[in-house]
């Protein structure tokens, strides 16, 4: 892996992206986080480790993932050309596996025998259970009980892979509560356990480490777009829950200032209703899950319940690097409602024969807004972060279809 940016150097050595990030955890986790940081720093410079990672990404994950020119969609919209980075074609069906392969190799090198993870949509849980099965490691996945119900196919996949899925009943019973429970497990079993966080949030070094494992998306895309179009794309679009697929695409382009970067949050029923998951659009800075970032909270600093049709975006925080990219203006953050995402979902499915995840459908929906405002010689690259098979129950329920 090469250092992908020349001028942009975030975070600092204590994990701060400007005022965001950091390491806000109870004392018992300070030593394990320090050990993890040391191992990560060391192995990211270790040629053997990097060679093993590259091999796994190629032969196990199926990388590089293609970039596909969605010509019919582009023609229909009548503006900029839309290209899709096909992370949905990865093994396990989403970008999440890029990171779990990396962290699992790290866990093995650190001598850990037990893997834990949190999951929302279940994609990260499946990607974690997958690599744990392959490496013969015990795997426990924490998942909010609301998400267990709405992502039943992924729950079964995790169990088939040998993982224990623990439904979390606390508070809103979604991703944030799963993350709390995973932290509680880690603090209890810290000696033999490696916590694979699935997004670019959490205490340092997770936001930087997960970003570095996901940056393979943007590095490939840069080369692929140059091959296909002879230049860099004019705009990048990716959905943002915690923000791992977005940062993975954006990061190698940060110093290419002509490339517009747009993160798409979940507006749920609409920002004005308060029922959404869009902290960058409508939240304010605070501290949760080990880092300072934008949060959805009430005036007393209690975290409020979020809503999105897509479980993977249903999270009240966001990775601290996105908070920083927003404040310094390098990336823009917009939001897309459940209804708009559904329109994006159906449009891509019908016009291109690609069924996108509901998370990724938010990025598609924003591309459908942006493309018509641009001339046809402009190129937009959308990160198609996952496939939609896992969402068929949600869609059937919403549209009154009995399976």
Partner 1 sequence: MSRISSKLLRLKQAGRKALIPFITAGDPHPEFTVPALHALVEAGADIIELGVPFSDPMADGPVIQKASERALAHKMSLRKVLELVREFRQTDTETPVVLMGYLNPVEAMGYPVFTDKAKEAGVDGVLTVDMPPEESEEFIALLTAVDIDPIFLLAPNSSAERIAKMGRLGRGYLYYVSLKGVTGASHLDLADVERKIGEIRSLTDLPIGVGFGVKNAEMAAAVSRLGDGVVVGSALVGKIEAAGENTDQALDEMTAMLRSMRAAMDA
28 three-class SS:
helix
Q: Which is nearer to partner 1, 193 or 337 (CB)?
A: 193
Burial class (CB in 10 A: 0-12, 13-18, 19+), 265: buried
Segment holding 336, helix H or strand E? strand 332-337
What does the chain come to in residues? 403
Which candidate in 118, 181, 297, 321 is catalytic?
118
**Catalytic site residue 96?**
yes
Which candidate in 85, 96, 112, 390 is catalytic?
96
**Catalytic site residue 58?**
no
Which candidate in 176, 181, 385, 390 is catalytic?
385
What secondary structure letter does DSSP report for 57?
Answer: I
Helices (H), 136-251: 145-150, 152-160, 175-188, 206-214, 216-229, 244-250
- Please state the closest distance from residue 277 (CB atom) to partner 1, in A: 15
| Paired strand residues for 82 | 380
- Please state the closest distance from residue 39 (CB atom) to partner 1, in A: 16
Measured CA to CA in angstroms, residue 19 lies from 93, 252, 286, 291, 398 at distances of: 35, 22, 11, 10, 40
Phi-psi region of 109 (alpha: psi -120 to 50; beta: other; left: phi over 0): alpha
Q: Which is nearer to partner 1, 94 or 175 (CB)?
A: 175
- Please state the closest distance from residue 297 (CB atom) to partner 1, in A: 6
CA angle 73, 79, 80 (to 5 degrees): 85
Sign of CA dihedral 344, 86, 264, 83: negative
Q: What residues make contact with partner 1 under the rule CB under 8 A?
A: 14, 22-28, 30-32, 170-171, 176-177, 180, 183-184, 187-191, 285-290, 292, 295, 297, 299-304
Q: Which is nearer to partner 1, 189 or 397 (CB)?
A: 189
Q: How many Cβ atoms sit within 10 Å of the Cβ of residue 349? A: 16
**Catalytic site residue 65?**
no
Please identify which residue in the block is written with the tokens 């939240």: 283
- Please state the closest distance from residue 290 (CB atom) to partner 1, in A: 7
Q: Are 131 and 99 in contact (CB under 8 A)?
A: no
- Please state the closest distance from residue 295 (CB atom) to partner 1, in A: 7
Cα gap 308→30, rounded to integer Å: 33
Q: Which is nearer to partner 1, 13 or 399 (CB)?
A: 13
Q: Which is nearer to partner 1, 26 or 156 (CB)?
A: 26
Q: Which is nearer to partner 1, 22 or 344 (CB)?
A: 22
Measured CA to CA in angstroms, residue 29 lies from 22, 189, 193, 202 at distances of: 13, 11, 12, 12
- Please state the closest distance from residue 94 (CB atom) to partner 1, in A: 26
- Please state the closest distance from residue 169 (CB atom) to partner 1, in A: 10
Q: Which is nearer to partner 1, 183 or 225 (CB)?
A: 183
Kindly list the catalytic residues: 96, 118, 385
């Amino acid at each position: 892996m090469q250092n992908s940016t020349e001028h942009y150097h975030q975070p600092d050595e204590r994990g701060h992206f400007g005022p965001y990030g950091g390491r806000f955890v109870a004392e018992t986790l300070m030593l394990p986080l320090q050990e993890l940081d040391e191992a990560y720093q060391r192995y990211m410079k270790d040629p053997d480790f990097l060679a093993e990672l590259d091999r796994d990404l190629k032969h196990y994950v199926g990388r590089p993932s293609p970039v596909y020119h969605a010509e019919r969609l582009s023609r229909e919209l009548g503006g900029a050309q839309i290209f899709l980075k096909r992370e949905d074609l990865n093994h396990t069906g989403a970008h999440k596996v890029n990171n779990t392969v990396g962290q699992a190799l790290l866990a093995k090198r650190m001598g850990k025998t037990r893997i834990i993870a949190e999951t929302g949509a279940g994609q990260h849980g499946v990607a974690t259970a997958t690599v744990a099965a392959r490496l013969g490691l015990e795997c426990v996945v924490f998942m909010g009980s609301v998400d267990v119900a709405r992502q039943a196919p992924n729950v079964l996949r995790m169990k088939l892979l040998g993982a224990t899925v623990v439904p979390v009943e606390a508070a809103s019973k979604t991703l944030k509560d799963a993350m709390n429970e995973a932290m509680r497990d880690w603090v209890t079993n810290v000696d033999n356990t490696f916590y694979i966080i699935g997004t670019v949030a959490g205490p340092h070094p997770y936001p930087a480490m997960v970003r570095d494992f996901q940056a393979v998306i943007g590095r490939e895309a840069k080369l692929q777009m140059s091959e296909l179009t002879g230049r860099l794309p004019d705009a990048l679009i990716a959905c943002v829950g915690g923000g791992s697929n977005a940062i993975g695409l954006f990061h190698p382009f940060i110093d290419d200032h002509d490339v517009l970067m747009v993160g798409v949050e979940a507006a749920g029923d609409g920002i004005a209703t308060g029922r959404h998951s869009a902290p960058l659009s409508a939240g304010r800075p605070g501290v949760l899950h080990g880092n300072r970032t934008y949060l959805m909270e009430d005036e007393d600093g209690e975290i409020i319940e979020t809503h999105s049709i897509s479980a993977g975006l249903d999270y009240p925080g966001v990775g601290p690097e996105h908070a920083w990219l927003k404040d310094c203006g390098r990336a823009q953050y917009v939001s897309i409602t459940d209804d708009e995402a559904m329109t994006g979902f159906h449009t891509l499915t019908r016009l291109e024969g690609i069924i996108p995840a509901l998370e990724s459908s938010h990025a598609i929906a924003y591309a459908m807004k942006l493309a018509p405002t641009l001339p046809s010689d402009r190129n937009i690259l959308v990160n198609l972060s996952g496939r939609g098979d896992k969402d068929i129950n949600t869609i059937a329920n919403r549209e009154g279809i009995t399976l």
